[in-house]
Structure 1
């Protein structure tokens, strides 16, 4: 899962600093950095944006003015040197409020909040309308939403379907279960593992990490898998 993110700040130093932090984060994708609200508004009108790091005090059009002109508001993290704006910022349903200079630890806390909020909103949508599977586990038929699956793991003649709620043991082959999953969200990264791409927190040339668990990459398809992960 990667949130499309932009930064809007008239200070080039602050803008470059935050853009660098965004680029380095495994769950953020930098869409652009803008020195004024008008440029940002034009970009938002033509591109999907999930998260904005937004300065409040800018020439001509403030951060608040920018939000007033948006019909659909992404998640907002306000950035400013003055704590006096905090109350008004939260009137705009701000996710967080960061004071300059930005510290990496606080930046990461804001991103964590954004990811959790994004997850909650999308899981709520899936609970009502999302794709699901009927599996048989422990002699019971169970309905599971594919958006809740973190990964699938081979387990002898069975497979383990690991979700946020529970782990289900299902009599099936990996191949048969893989065919039941939406291939635009799930990827076979190893003979023993299928992962939900939306749940990947970080990855390297050897493994991916989901909810703190490290899952190995297949040596044979490592380059192909990494390419898919980088572009997801």
Structure 2
């Protein structure tokens, strides 16, 4: 799942810089970039926007003015050259505050916060009726929401189901457990690993990364996962 993302900044150089970083990120989709808040507001009113990289100081209408005029506010990452705005920025429940010039490492930290917040809100919304499976672990039947699973790992005659809350040990084969998971969100990338595609942060030819953990990627799965994630 990619977050529909826009950039609002009166500086064309800054817009190009942020847009490039967005296009390179596995969990972001660049939906548009705008040089002024009015055009951005018109776009937001008619399109689904999950995340805004928003400059504060712009002619005529500031970033704060833009947010004040929105009934439903997407997630916000403020971008500005002045640290003085930081306190006010967080009055708007901003995900983060980036100072110009933007460094890629700092950008990635901000995006990780936004992605985690997006999934957290979705998990809360789906808490009573979202997609789930029933597993038997430690002689107990447990309801596990699939959106909370990070990956599944082979472990001898068992499998480990790794979630954000805890790890469950289940007596099952990988093949049998894979059949229980929604195919549109889970992919077996290795004989010993199934991953939740929503949780993938980055990948290369040897492994993918979820929540800072590196998970091996089979060579024959590389092309498949590239194709899937580019269109996810």
TM-score (norm 2): 0.88
1:175-214 equivalent positions in 2, closer than 5 A: 175-214=175-214
Residue 128 of structure 1 corresponds to which residue in structure 2? 128
1:97 aligns with 2:93: no
Is the 8 Å Cα contact of residues 26 and 230 (structure 2) preserved in structure 1?
A: no
Residue 43 of structure 2 corresponds to which residue in structure 1? 43
2:220 alignment partner, SS class: coil
For 1:83 and 1:221, locate their aligned partners in 2 and report how far apart those are by CA, in whole Å: 45
Residue 173 of structure 2 corresponds to which residue in structure 1? 173
Q: Alignment RMSD, CA only? A: 2.2
Q: Structure 1 residues 154 and 98 mapped into 2: Cα distance closer, same or farther (>3 Å)?
A: closer
Structure 2 unaligned segments of length 5 or more: list them.
none
Structure 1 unaligned segments of length 5 or more: list them.
none
Q: Structure 1 residues 151 and 34 mapped into 2: Cα distance closer, same or farther (>3 Å)?
A: same
Deviations 1:102-130 (Å, cap 9, x if unpaired)?
33343333223222322322222233332
How many pairs are equivalent?
A: 232
Residue 79 of structure 2 corresponds to which residue in structure 1? 79
TM-score (norm 1): 0.88
Is the 8 Å Cα contact of residues 174 and 192 (structure 1) preserved in structure 2?
A: yes
Q: Structure 1 residues 120 and 157 mapped into 2: Cα distance closer, same or farther (>3 Å)?
A: same
Deviation at 1:3, TM superposition (A): 2.4
